[in-house]
A and B are shown apart, each in its own frame.
Chain A
Amino acid sequence: MDNAMKPDLRGGLEAALGRAEILGKRWQEWIHQPSSQMEPLITDQVSQSGHTRADVVFQLKHLAEAITVESLQAWVRQSWPNGFAKSSNLNESGIPDSMLICCVHAGNIPMVGLQDMLAICLAGDFYAGKLSRRDSALMQAWLEYLCYQEPKLGQKLAWSTDAAGLVHSLNRPIQAWIFTGNESTWEMIQKQFVVDASAHDTPAATLVRRAEASIAVLDDQQSPLHSSELKALAEAMLLYQGKGCRSVGLIVSSKPLSFYQHSCAMVDSMEAVIMDSNQDESPVSEERVMERGWCAANQIAHIWVDHLLIREAPDYVFEPNESLFSTIPGVVYWVQGDRSQVEKWFDDSRKAAQIQSVYSVNTREHTSQSSRNRAEPSSKSRVESKTEPLELAQRPPIHWTPDGENPLSWVLNLPSQSHES
């Protein structure tokens, strides 16, 4: 394929597959640059994000495997709407106009906005990225590389760590927004971007991510977890200091935490991940220390390894309107129960919205249950639709669905869409 993007690639599935080929190829080139190119970027990323070098490298290694021409094309095929033949607004050159979509990225894990950026590019739309100052070094370098190598594509890319600067660089209104946050975030974004919502006849489309963390359901009724399962659990809790929405923030187990409290195997697996991810070099969160002190003073069962506290959940997590997760990253709640407990939480829409994924340590069981119950519109099936193998917690495929929403599908289905089949 020619390096320069052809105008006719902007319409239809074939065009999207062509964009997937370009993006996958350029991504592989960029991520496999010599270490002399990548090391300074990693150093900058570490200094601005507070993540460990090992965390950043882990993410890059994972993304190198997850983002390929094949995986992007598969994602496009999977996301392409059936019977997709919407009318397009054509510009003066007879080319469908693209949507201008602004992403306000969080900075909780390295390159957290990459999936949204790729989704918008694959759809042929215009990406305007407000990068987090905690997560800009790698994203900026990747975007610059892409612009340099693919100037046509680069015409549809704009980014900045400064909202006002980004708005200034755009010469047309933003038509859709993707951002993470809570109820007050949209108001804040409107202020930052000087968006006057009342000035638009139709409000801009928004995709808001709200999920806070994920749940691991341990199948430990018959026998304690294997060492590989313990390692996967430790990784799911500890990587990125527990700040990812795919990070495990709550464990449901058939056993009380006291069963594992004196288990060398569990502590060893956590210590090993802490050492491997260099978390031992990070300062220990004082809020977490306070939480440990509280547990000790109250004889609440807990496991403490400096960079992680697992504790019996407070009773109030079972109450409506209460968060399932601690507000302190690296504090994981433990609930004795089984999948039926998770199903109860999914009956509560506010609680369900907090949960990104439910991890099972038994993949085979999860898969078969998913297929068996797909037709049931129940909390049970909702749990199963969100269930993934634990080992994928920090290794999601490119087509994973934050908050249960495939961002590529969302972009492709935006109203007044420009894509053609």
Chain B
Amino acid sequence: MTKLAEQLLATTSFDDAWQLCVGEHATHRSIAWRYVEEMTRGMDGFGEMASVPLEKWPLMSISAFRERLMSITDTPDMIFRSSGTSSSVSSQHAMGSLALYHRASIEGFMTHYREAFLHGARFIGYVPGYIDNPASSLLSMMGAIVSELEDVATMISTPQELQITLQEDASSPVVLFGAAFGLVDFVDGIEEGMSIGGAGESTKGHAPMRLPQGSIIIETGGMKTHRRELSRDVMHHHLSEGFGVPRSQIHSEYGMCEMTSQAYSMDGVWFTPTRLARFVVKDVNHPLQATPHGSVGRLGVMDAGNINSCPWFLTDDLAIQREDGAIQVLGRREKSVARGCNYMVDVDG
């Protein structure tokens, strides 16, 4: 691990981590830093950027990750690439220190779930389809968590393997962490009659599965490319029914290729960022202005973990922020609405 990464992980507060991150970008006059210089040129109150309130920072569009590889170091450990959706060009995120990414991911995850493992839970990382994308940040994070938890953890990429693994130990609670579409597909497979009870026994028409008491399911979102699009609420209900887990035990994770840090939602609604990150919400039509708490806006990310790339950027997700900083993610902003015949017609109601 680089000295800088160690320094960042040694910080004890977001403010300290942010100071270090801003200083690094200023020292190297990174692309992200030059952007801030351009956007604040001649403006009062932006002399000492590290002390500028987060809601006032000029954020860079997330599309920047598609157009340029932003990296302070010439030799990043890893370049993560987003999985393609409708676009053929993916985002690319230069991770200066892969160890930093792994430690930050583990720290964020364990903050919420350490207790479960102390009580004998197993960890299953379920990543169907991701094996084909070795540059996936989710795959890398899952691998780090599995390494951290050693023999109580495993990573699985097919529904058959997941089925067998769940059958092998029906008594220990499970922390099942996976992409939403994969978990939904698995549940759908059970409902469609995939055998899980052994020796040809079909579960069709039965309560499909009941994970051991204390089990937790964490979905990572990502239904956009799925054959059907579900709201988070409907999806959680579906997962709760399908795995026989109380609704309160269906959690969510918010992360993306462009972030080093993640956020977790223990109630399926409000996401809290990990120590190295904070969220801001910007006005949809005036993305340089912050919205009041409780108003819908575009989600901005301030991630000190992106110390090598771009720590301040504006996503295409819509969100609401609570006063304590937690956010509710409302889905993807429709971008292709602004011009020509593609200009969106009015939405009633």
| Interface positions of A (Cβ within 8 A of B) | 104-108, 130, 132-134, 161-164, 179-182, 184-185, 188-189, 192, 209-213, 242-245, 247, 249, 286-287, 289-294, 296-298, 314-316, 319-323, 325, 327-329, 354, 356, 402-403
B68 A243 Cβ-Cβ under 8 A: no
A297 B35 Cβ-Cβ under 8 A: yes
- CB proximity to A under 8 Å, residues B317-349: 334-336, 338-349
Chain A min CB distance to B187 (Å): 25
Question: In the complex, which residues of chain A have a beta carbon less than 8 angstroms from the beta carbon of B340?
Answer: 108, 211-213, 243-245, 247, 249, 325, 356
Considering the complex, give the chain A residue whose CB is closest to the CB of B67: A314
Which of B74-82, B83-91, B204-212 lies at the interface?
B83-91
Is B125 engaged at the interface, CB distance under 8 Å to the other chain?
no
A322 B89 Cβ-Cβ under 8 A: yes
B345 A296 Cβ-Cβ under 8 A: no
Given known A-B contacts A209-B341, A210-B341, A329-B339, A134 and B346 have beta carbons under 8 A apart: yes
A182 B336 Cβ-Cβ under 8 A: yes
A213 B339 Cβ-Cβ under 8 A: yes
| Interface positions of B (Cβ within 8 A of A) | 31-32, 34-35, 37-39, 58-61, 64, 66-68, 86-89, 285-289, 314, 334-336, 338-349
B31 A132 Cβ-Cβ under 8 A: no
A189 B345 Cβ-Cβ under 8 A: yes
14 A–B pairs (Cβ distance < 8 Å), ordered by A? A106-B344, A133-B346, A161-B346, A181-B343, A181-B344, A184-B334, A210-B342, A247-B339, A297-B37, A316-B66, A320-B88, A322-B87, A327-B336, A327-B339
Residue in A162, A244, A296, A325 whose CB lies within 8 Å of B34: A296
Question: In the complex, which residues of chain B have a beta carbon less than 8 angstroms from the beta carbon of A354?
Answer: 342
Question: In the complex, which residues of chain B have a beta carbon less than 8 angstroms from the beta carbon of A243?
Answer: 338-340, 343
Question: In the complex, which residues of chain B have a beta carbon less than 8 angstroms from the beta carbon of A314?
Answer: 66-67
B346 A293 Cβ-Cβ under 8 A: no
Question: In the complex, which residues of chain B have a beta carbon less than 8 angstroms from the beta carbon of A402?
Answer: 341
A106 B38 Cβ-Cβ under 8 A: no
Interchain CA distance A182-B339 in the complex, whole Å: 12
Question: In the complex, which residues of chain A have a beta carbon less than 8 angstroms from the beta carbon of B349?
Answer: 192
Q: Please provide the 9 A-B residue pairs with the shortest distance between their CB atoms, ordered closest to farther.
A: A245-B340, A209-B341, A297-B34, A297-B35, A108-B343, A212-B340, A316-B89, A321-B88, A293-B38
Interchain CA distance A210-B349 in the complex, whole Å: 24
Question: In the complex, which residues of chain B have a beta carbon less than 8 angstroms from the beta carbon of A108?
Answer: 339-340, 343
Interchain CA distance A323-B63 in the complex, whole Å: 13
Consensus secondary structure, chain B interface: loop
Interchain CA distance A409-B254 in the complex, whole Å: 50
Interchain CA distance A85-B163 in the complex, whole Å: 65
Question: In the complex, which residues of chain A have a beta carbon less than 8 angstroms from the beta carbon of B346?
Answer: 107, 130, 132-134, 161
Chain B min CB distance to A54 (Å): 19
A211 B31 Cβ-Cβ under 8 A: no
B341 A294 Cβ-Cβ under 8 A: no
A164 B341 Cβ-Cβ under 8 A: no
Question: In the complex, which residues of chain B have a beta carbon less than 8 angstroms from the beta carbon of A323?
Answer: 336
Question: In the complex, which residues of chain A have a beta carbon less than 8 angstroms from the beta carbon of B286?
Answer: 286
Interchain CA distance A402-B342 in the complex, whole Å: 12
Interchain CA distance A229-B42 in the complex, whole Å: 35
Residue in A105, A134, A242, A320 whose CB lies within 8 Å of B339: A242
Interchain CA distance A402-B340 in the complex, whole Å: 10
Given known A-B contacts A180-B343, A323-B336, A296 and B348 have beta carbons under 8 A apart: no
A286 B288 Cβ-Cβ under 8 A: yes
Residue in B88, B287, B314 whose CB lies within 8 Å of A322: B88
Given known A-B contacts A315-B67, A329-B338, A294 and B343 have beta carbons under 8 A apart: no
Chain B min CB distance to A232 (Å): 19
Question: In the complex, which residues of chain B have a beta carbon less than 8 angstroms from the beta carbon of A291?
Answer: 61
Residue in B31, B339, B347 whose CB lies within 8 Å of A188: B347
Considering the complex, give the chain B residue whose CB is closest to the CB of A162: B348
Interchain CA distance A106-B341 in the complex, whole Å: 8
Chain B min CB distance to A379 (Å): 20
Question: In the complex, which residues of chain A have a beta carbon less than 8 angstroms from the beta carbon of B61?
Answer: 287, 290-291, 294
B288 A290 Cβ-Cβ under 8 A: yes
Considering the complex, give the chain B residue whose CB is closest to the CB of A327: B335
Residue in B39, B285, B336, B347 whose CB lies within 8 Å of A289: B39
- Extra inter-chain contacts (9) besides given A180-B341, A289-B288, A320-B88, CB under 8 Å: A105-B345, A106-B341, A108-B339, A188-B345, A188-B347, A292-B38, A297-B32, A314-B67, A325-B339
Residue in A212, A287, A292, A294 whose CB lies within 8 Å of B287: A287
Question: In the complex, which residues of chain A have a beta carbon less than 8 angstroms from the beta carbon of B347?
Answer: 188, 192
Question: In the complex, which residues of chain B have a beta carbon less than 8 angstroms from the beta carbon of A296?
Answer: 34-35, 38
Interchain CA distance A49-B67 in the complex, whole Å: 33
Select the residue from B60, B88, B345 with max chain A CB neighbours within 10 A: B345
Interchain CA distance A211-B340 in the complex, whole Å: 6
Interchain CA distance A55-B343 in the complex, whole Å: 18
Question: In the complex, which residues of chain A have a beta carbon less than 8 angstroms from the beta carbon of B68?
Answer: 298
Interchain CA distance A265-B338 in the complex, whole Å: 29
Considering the complex, give the chain A residue whose CB is closest to the CB of B85: A321
Question: In the complex, which residues of chain A have a beta carbon less than 8 angstroms from the beta carbon of B64?
Answer: 294
Interchain CA distance A319-B87 in the complex, whole Å: 9
Interchain CA distance A216-B165 in the complex, whole Å: 60
A163 B348 Cβ-Cβ under 8 A: yes
Interchain CA distance A157-B345 in the complex, whole Å: 20
Chain A min CB distance to B285 (Å): 8
Chain B min CB distance to A376 (Å): 27
B339 A319 Cβ-Cβ under 8 A: no
Interchain CA distance A17-B39 in the complex, whole Å: 58
Interchain CA distance A55-B146 in the complex, whole Å: 61
Interchain CA distance A284-B60 in the complex, whole Å: 17
Given known A-B contacts A296-B34, A320-B88, A356-B340, A180 and B345 have beta carbons under 8 A apart: yes
Question: In the complex, which residues of chain B have a beta carbon less than 8 angstroms from the beta carbon of A297?
Answer: 31-32, 34-35, 37-38
Residue in B60, B288, B334, B345 whose CB lies within 8 Å of A104: B345
Residue in B32, B66, B288, B342 whose CB lies within 8 Å of A181: B342
Interchain CA distance A394-B150 in the complex, whole Å: 66
Interchain CA distance A213-B340 in the complex, whole Å: 5
Residue in B288, B314, B343 whose CB lies within 8 Å of A106: B343
Interchain CA distance A292-B61 in the complex, whole Å: 11
Given known A-B contacts A180-B345, A297-B35, A286 and B289 have beta carbons under 8 A apart: yes
Question: In the complex, which residues of chain B have a beta carbon less than 8 angstroms from the beta carbon of A188?
Answer: 345, 347
Interchain CA distance A161-B348 in the complex, whole Å: 9
Question: In the complex, which residues of chain B have a beta carbon less than 8 angstroms from the beta carbon of A211?
Answer: 340-342
Question: In the complex, which residues of chain B have a beta carbon less than 8 angstroms from the beta carbon of A325?
Answer: 339-340
Given known A-B contacts A106-B341, A180-B342, A329-B338, A293 and B287 have beta carbons under 8 A apart: no
Considering the complex, give the chain B residue whose CB is closest to the CB of A185: B345
